[in-house]
Amino acid sequence: MKSPSPTSENTGARLRRLEKRLLGQLAQTSEAFKLLEPGDRVMVAVSGGKDSMSLLSLLARIRERAPFALELIAVNLDQGHPGFPTDVLPSYFEARGFDYKIIREDTYSIVKSKIPEGRTYCSLCSRLRRGILYNVAQELGCTKIALGHHREDTIETLLLNLLYSGQIKAMPARLQSDDGRNIVIRPLLECAEAEIAEYAALMQFPIVPCDLCGSQDNLKRQRIKRLISELAGENPNVRGNLLAALGNVRVTHLLDRALLGDAEPRGRDTWLDAEVHSPAETAGSGVRTASPVAAPDESLIPLSALRR
């Protein structure tokens, strides 16, 4: 019998360590924000990209270890993009034993007719996709819709809103839709994109490209991504610090009167008290340590159930 090569053993060990880390982060996020609860039927929106494929795989692992019943159904929306490989995802879902549904809606033609040539399709395309997925979740009797957004997605969104919209807003881990019909969850929100990409590569997922529509990239987001990378080259804690800041808000040091109310802001002044930290003092990992988190409901997934 041929023994496994050192390379294959190293790859397997790396995959196990990486999966364990990602599962731990996913479980922590779930506990803090009540993402996965007993009796949930979760619709996992799978585009075929590295993030959604990783999310489906990790949630399947969670389901195996969860101390309560948890249903998953993978849903892919075929939007009519030219060249979309219609057989790739169904074949993968069937081979892995996933419950799934493929929705075919030609939103591509609608977007092409509405958006001038040379402009990005992403905004209108995402709005149409969201409406369809919300309706499908109701038809399938799902209690949650799981999306594959990760740490980099949310910190880029934070900076985009700050710089271009004048809002302090990012991506929530859990959000009820405006019409109250659906709850959207983002279990990977504290997971690093680089680790998700490595996990997807090691798992050898059949990845479907995301640029089939031929639309140009969201240029502002790409610029923000480059800015974060540049800053992270100077201080490797930048990405973690940005994520940690979302759970470490000092309302008294902002200008939102709706949040402040009639209370008199009190505390140390950022400028007068010279509250400046060196990179070593701000080694944010993205883990919420600044503010106490309420004790998790016992019905939620305990970390000990995943760290075996």
Residue bearing the bigger pLDDT, 240 or 299: 240
Interacting residues of 103 by C-beta distance below 8 A, sequence separation 6+: 75, 76, 77, 78, 132, 136
Is the pLDDT at 214 greater than 90? The verdict is no
pLDDT the model gives residue 297 = 46
Say how far apart CA 205 and CA 43 lie, in whole Å: 19
Which residue reads 């900076």 in tokens? 159
Is the pLDDT at 299 greater than 70? The verdict is no
pLDDT the model gives residue 239 = 97
E-assigned strand segments in the chain = 41-45, 71-78, 100-104, 144-146, 174-176, 183-185
Residue bearing the bigger pLDDT, 102 or 301: 102
Across 231-260, average pLDDT: 94
How confident is the model over 197-209, as pLDDT tens digits?
999 999 999 998 7
Ordered by where they begin, the domains of the chain are 13-305 (3.40.50.620)
The secondary structure of residue 222, as a DSSP letter, is H
Which band of pLDDT confidence, cut at 50, 70 and 90, is reported for residue 183? very high
Query: What rounded mean pLDDT belongs to the chain?
Result: 84
Is the pLDDT at 115 greater than 60? The verdict is yes
What is the pTM assigned to this prediction?
0.83
